[in-house]
Chains A and B, each alone.
Chain A
Amino acid sequence: MKYKNILYSFLLTILISVLWSCASQPCTENTLSTVNVSFYQTGTGLSVAVDSVTLYGIGMDTNRIYNKSTGLRVIQIPLDAGKDSCSFFIKINNSPDTVTFHYSSYPHLVSKECGFTFYHVLDTPNWKRPEFNYQLKNINITTANEENIRIYF
C-alpha cells in the first residue's frame, strides 16, 4: 500500500509538472540588442559618471534616447537592423559629436515566446570630431549587455 501511494504520488507530480510546462509562458527575456558604451577617466582608468548625455539618431531628433540625462556610467545605443549603417548625434557634458556605426546584422531567436531579435557585428565607428579617446572592446552586439565601447575623458 505504501509502495502504491509513493508510485501514484510520483506519477501525479510528474503529470502536473508536464501540464504546467506545456502552458504558454509570457516573454520575459531581453529582446533589444544595443551598443553598450561605458565612460572612464583618463589616467586612472576608473569608471565615471558623466554630468550630461544627449543622444538621438540623425533625423530622429524629436525622439531622443537620452535628453540631458545625468549621472550615467553606461549608455545603450540601438542600431538600425534594416540597414548596414546608422548615425547618431551625441553630446557628452558640453561636447557634441556625430558618430556613424557600420555593421552587419543577423537574426537571433530569443525564445519561442519572444521571437527574434537582430544581433550585429560592428566595424570601427566613425567619430566626426573625436574630442574623446574611444576604445572598441567588443564588436559583437547582442542582448547580453556586454561592454562594447569605452570613452575616456
Chain B
Amino acid sequence: MKRISAYISSLLLFTALTGVSGQDKVPVPMTIKIGADIYGPLYNIYDRKTNNLEGFLSLDIDTGKAVVLEAGHLSYEYSQYNYDYLNNGLFFRLGMDFNLLKPGTAIGKYYAGIGLRYGLSIFTSQVPFLKHDNYWGTATGSVPSSTHSAHFFEVSPGIRTELFKNVVIGWTIRLRILIYSSTGKDLKAVYIPGFGNGTKSFSPGINYYIILSIPYKK
C-alpha cells in the first residue's frame, strides 16, 4: 500500500512538473539503468504456458537521449482444438530512447518519450499435432522442430518515474513491424519471441519495468 501511494504520489508530482518550464542550466545526472520486466512474470501467473523474461540496460548519452539494449527469453505453448504449438527462443532489441520532457522537467527522474528499436529473434518451433476437417473427414499431421530467425522494427512510447531514490518504475507500449522471418509463408510462427504474433506483420505489446538507476556523471 505504501509503495502504491509512493507511485501515485510520484505520478502526481510528475504530472504537476510537466507544466513547469525548464531552467537554463539544470544539473541532471547521466545514469546507467538496469532493469527487469515484471509484466512477463505476472502474465505467467495468468497463463502458465507463456513464460517471458526480459531485461533492460540503458546508458544516457545526454539529457534527452539514451542507448538501450534489451534481451530476453520466451518459452511458449499454445493449444486449441485443431493444433498444438511449441516455441522457445532468445530475443534482443537495440536502439535509443528519446525523452520528450525538457531537462528542467525531467531532472533525471522522469521520462515520457519514444523509443526506437531494431529487434532480432532466434527461436525453435514445433507443431506436435495438427488436424484439418474437410469433405473427406479428418486429416492429421505434425511439423518437426526447426530453428528460425526473425527481424523486426519497433516504436516504443512509454512513461517512467522515480519511485524512490535510484529506483524507477514505468511502462512501455511496443508497436512492432516484422521485417523478415525465416519460417517461410506456409509454416509461419504462431509466436515470435520478442515480437508477438508471427502470423501478422504488425504486433503490439506492453512491458512494465522496475529499474535501478545508477548515476555515473553530472
Contacts and interface: CB of A to CB of B under 8 A. Distances in A.
Given A10-B157, A117-B132, A118-B132, A107 B206 contact: no
Interface in B180-211: 186-188, 190-191, 197, 199, 203-206
B9 to A, nearest CB: 18
Interface stretch (B52-60, B62-70, B133-141, B146-154): B133-141
A115 B132 CA distance: 8
Nearest to A113: B80
B205 A18 contact: yes
A22 B19 contact: no
A81 B173 contact: no
A78 B112 contact: no
A59 to B, nearest CB: 10
A81 B135 contact: no
A60 B135 CA distance: 9
A109 B132 contact: no
Nearest to A3: B18
Contacts of B98: none
Given A4-B15, A31-B132, A115 B80 contact: yes
A1 B135 CA distance: 63
Contacts of B131: 116
Interface residues of A, number: 36
Nearest to A14: B173
B112 to A, nearest CB: 6
Interface in A96-146: 105-109, 111-112, 115-119
Contacts of A117: 132
A11 B82 contact: no
Interface in B59-105: 78, 80, 82-83, 100
Contacts of B173: 11, 14-15, 18
A23 B96 CA distance: 29
Interface in B97-147: 100, 112, 127, 130-132, 134-141, 143
B199 A109 contact: yes
Contacts of B83: 115-116
A82 interface: yes
Which has the most chain B C-beta neighbours within 10 Å: A57, A63, A82? A82
B136 A116 contact: no
Chain B facing A: main interface SS: strand
A119 B139 CA distance: 12
Which has the most chain B C-beta neighbours within 10 Å: A11, A14, A15, A60? A14
A138 to B, nearest CB: 17
B204 A115 contact: no
Nearest to B204: A18
Contacts of B136: 57, 60, 78-82, 86
Contact of B190 (A32, A106, A109): A109
Interface of B: 15, 18-19, 78, 80, 82-83, 100, 112, 127, 130-132, 134-141, 143, 157, 159, 173, 175, 186-188, 190-191, 197, 199, 203-206
Interface of A: 1, 3-4, 7, 10-11, 14-15, 17-18, 21-22, 31-32, 57, 60, 63, 65, 78-82, 86, 105-109, 111-112, 115-119
19 contacts: A10-B157, A14-B157, A17-B204, A18-B175, A21-B204, A31-B132, A81-B134, A82-B137, A105-B139, A106-B186, A107-B130, A107-B132, A109-B199, A115-B132, A116-B82, A116-B83, A116-B131, A116-B141, A119-B186
